[in-house]
Amino acid sequence: MVGAGLAGLACARTLADRGLSVTVFDKGRTPGGRATSRGGGGRWVAGGRVFDHGAQFFTARGEWLSSRLLAWEEEGVVARWSPRVAAAAASAGSRASSATAASPSEAWWVGVPRMGALAACLARGLDVRLEAPVSALARSGEVWSLTHGVAGAAAVHHADALVLAVPAAQCVALLERVSAEASVLREVASVVQTPCWAVMVSLRGGEPVGADVVEDREGVVAWAAREGSKPGRVVPPGEDMWTLHASTSWSEAHLEDSPESVRDVLTSAFVERHVRGAVTVVHAKAHRWRFARGSASSAPCGALFDASSALAVCGDWLESARVEGALASGVAAAARILGE
């Protein structure tokens, strides 16, 4: 398995529960992909500033996820989030006012005490090898070979079946060097995934924003969520912590800007448009999600699979651009491998 995001973990969890031996490789330091969290200053901080800088919440509409929510809630892995959600209403460039804030029309769920808790739960007991990027694939007969690790310390792992649970562009980079089934490679190559710049900011002072989530279709900041409104979060006294997501168009136009520049632009845009009174920026840091959203050219199919080479591909871009879409895609990939 290449990729320890939610799609990869759901696939690995399903296969392991059916008795298969699964090894998961990921270049990151923690499992979860975009459904993870980050601490202030780039460090995990127990009881300090922790931001869900990627996926903000999830809903459960399908049977697989819905059937597991109660057990996860009882275990303290997830909890319902009932934020006050408002849509900003004003022309871009001017101070926005928010419509009356209201609770979501369906249940929103988050990991506790951070979004990464869901990935940690799925990864429990699995052989997940972190900080182990896969740089090359090869296939000889019926065996896959994966070259993984950093330069100077690379190793080769052999497997009977391969699952790629990484962004489409990274799938293409790995598959175009091997004899992958043409239709699989063609479908993956057709996917265009768009970026999203995120900024984690903590403010002190000013008049509190009258909502926990602000959706803004006109401003540079398309989404803003108050971290302290989520269950299980700890916020330093006197601070107001927000995760900001730039609009897709702005993120695309400023994809290669420096994190410092993005940090300053998005923080200023949010404060000027949504916060009244003098504020002090206590902490602000930007993170670029290069592959935040995307969809395949065909209708949602769950996962791609080539039985002749025992190759599966999964990801939210094959199902829906939601947390549940990633999970459902991983489960679908597992079902293809199991022949179900």
Q: What is the pLDDT of residues 96-146, one digit of tens each?
A: 555 567 889 899 999 999 999 999 999 999 999 999 999 999 999 999 999
Pull the structure tokens for residue 204.
């002190």
Pull the structure tokens for residue 218.
């006109």
Please tell me the predicted confidence (pLDDT) of residue 152: 74
In a domain, 285, yes or no: yes
Whether residue 206 sits in one domain with residue 183: no
Q: What is the pLDDT of residues 37-93, one digit of tens each?
A: 987 444 434 446 899 999 999 999 999 999 999 999 999 999 999 999 998 865 444
Strand 155-159 relative to strand 162-164: parallel, antiparallel, unpaired? unpaired
Please tell me the predicted confidence (pLDDT) of residue 208: 81
Residue 81: which domain range? 47-115+194-293
Whether residue 165 sits in one domain with residue 108: no
**pLDDT higher for 321 or 52?**
52
Q: Can you count the helices (H) and strands (E) in the chain?
A: 8, 19
> For a pLDDT cut of 70, what percent of the chain falls above it?
92
Whether residue 279 sits in one domain with residue 198: yes
What sign does the CA torsion over 283, 286, 287, 291 have? positive
Whether residue 321 sits in one domain with residue 276: no
pTM for this model (two decimals): 0.92
Please tell me the predicted confidence (pLDDT) of residue 103: 86
Residues pairing with 280 in the sheet = 204
- Helices 116-123 and 63-75: crossing angle, nearest 10°? 100
Whether residue 269 sits in one domain with residue 182: no
